[in-house]
Amino acid sequence: MVSASTDSVGVMNRLKYISLWLFGLFFIAAGANHFVNRPFYVSIMPPYLPWPVALVYISGVAEIGLGGLLLFERWSQLAAWGLIALLIAVFPANVHMALHPELYQWA
C-alpha cells in the first residue's frame, strides 16, 4: 500500500515535470516568434535603448536557449534563473507600452 505522503510526492513530481515542459515549450515558441514577427518586437522597444533589432534577436535567442535548457533536469534550475533575469531585462519594453498606450492602438 502506498502512503498518502508518497503519493503526493509523486503527484508533485509529475506536476513539476509537466510545468517544466509547458514553460520550456512556451519560451521556445516565444523566442522563435521574435524572428517570425520581428517588426512587432522592434516596435515595442523603448526609444532610449540602442540597437533595437539586435536586442530583439538577442532576447529571442535567449528565450529559445533558456527554454530548451529548462527541459533538461541538469540545467533546469540555471535556466529558470536565466529566464527570471531575461524577464527583468525585457521589462522596460512592457513599462514603455504601459506608459505610452497611444503608440500601441493595435495592441
Q: How confident is the model at residue 8 (pLDDT cuts 50, 70, 90)?
A: confident
What tens digit of pLDDT does each residue of 58-87 get?
999 999 999 999 999 999 999 999 999 999
- For the chain, give the mean pLDDT: 90
pLDDT tens-digit map of 9-25: 788 789 988 999 999 99
Q: How far apart are CA 40 and CA 96, in angstroms?
A: 14
Give residue 51's region: left, alpha or beta (phi > 0; psi -120 to 50): left
Stated pTM of the model: 0.83
d(Cα 33, Cα 40) in Å, to the nearest integer? 10
